[in-house]
Structure 1
Amino acid sequence: MGELAAELMALFADGFWRTARVARTRRRLAAGRPVRIPCSARTAGPGPRGDYVGGRLRIAPGAPSAVFTARGGARVVLAAGGTFHDPEPDTWYDQDWAATAYRPPGAEHPVHLQVDSRHLPLLHAALTDPRVTKDG
């Protein structure tokens, strides 16, 4: 019985922590401050499909781009003003993590991103029109 209680406590604490983190991210963006959103990314292109790499996406309100920095130090600059597309169905690994494909303007291939589903609307607003996040 103690194991079940411990698992339920961890589940509720995790949900509370994620909800609080999304609220903090939303407040910081509305105040015009930069944020870092934990996410995973992989680039699409010719050849075999690569794996997702964990890292953080740095978004600054009003900036012309967002920067994904992988844990290994690799960086991918995502220009704002692109379009979002649904990725392949097999890229959804977890119900809490939403996968989406973002094609920056002028890019030949999209970048696939996985973020907590609660961060997805903020990500869409920040990359499609950076002024949206600055004005609230």
Structure 2
Amino acid sequence: MGEFLGELATLFADGAFRRWHVARTRRRLAAGRPVRVPCSARSDRAGWQRAYVNGTLDITPGAATAAFGERGGDRLQLPTGGSFHEPEPDTWYDQDWAATCYLPPDGGEPVHLQVDSRYLPLVHVTLADPKSQQKV
């Protein structure tokens, strides 16, 4: 019974923490400050792993690029201003996270991203329409 209660406590604490972090991320973006969004990414680019890798998406409002980085690993630069498309659902890394496919504006290889569904609208706006996030 104690193990079950421990699992429930973790489940509810994670949800509350995630809601707080999403609200904090929104406030920082609105203030024009850089944010880090936890996510997983996969790309077909040369030299990049073909499997999903956990890391963070570093976003600076109004910047020309965003960067995905794994802990202690390479950084993948993503030019902003691209478009989003639906990914292939049979290769999703984690079914609990929302997945999307980002196509850079320069016609480069697509990057498949997975983020908690509460972060997905923030990621869409900041990558596809960076000018809307510029501080006036």
Return 5+ residue gaps in structure 1 as ranges. Answer: none
Going from structure 1 to structure 2, the CA distance change for 1:111 and 1:98 (only over 3 Å counts) comes to same
User: What is aligned with 1:111?
Assistant: 111
- Contact kept, 8 Å, 2:62 with 2:131, in 1: the verdict is yes
Q: Distance in 2 between matches of 1:91 and 1:108?
A: 20
Q: For 1:120, give the aligned amino acid.
A: L
Q: For 1:116, give the aligned amino acid.
A: D
User: What is aligned with 1:91?
Assistant: 91
Alignment RMSD = 1.8
User: What is aligned with 1:10?
Assistant: 10
2:28 counterpart of 1:23: no
Identity of matched residues, %: 62
Count of aligned residue pairs for this structure pair: 133
User: What is aligned with 1:53?
Assistant: 53
User: What is aligned with 1:76?
Assistant: 76
Displacement of 1:45: 5.6
Of the structure 1 ranges 86-95 and 25-34, higher mean CA displacement relative to structure 2 is found in 86-95
Return 5+ residue gaps in structure 2 as ranges. Answer: none
Of the structure 1 ranges 69-78 and 8-17, higher mean CA displacement relative to structure 2 is found in 69-78
The Cα offsets for residues 107-133 of structure 1, whole Å up to 9 and x where unpaired, read as: 232011111111000000000111223
- Contact kept, 8 Å, 2:37 with 2:58, in 1: the verdict is yes
Q: Distance in 1 between matches of 2:82 and 2:66?
A: 12
Q: For 1:50, give the aligned amino acid.
A: R
Q: Distance in 2 between matches of 1:68 and 1:83?
A: 17
- Contact kept, 8 Å, 2:64 with 2:79, in 1: the verdict is yes
Runs of 4+ in 1 over 4 A off after TM superposition: none
User: What is aligned with 2:123?
Assistant: 123
What TM-score, normalized by structure 1, do the two folds share?
A: 0.89
- Contact kept, 8 Å, 1:41 with 1:111, in 2: the verdict is yes
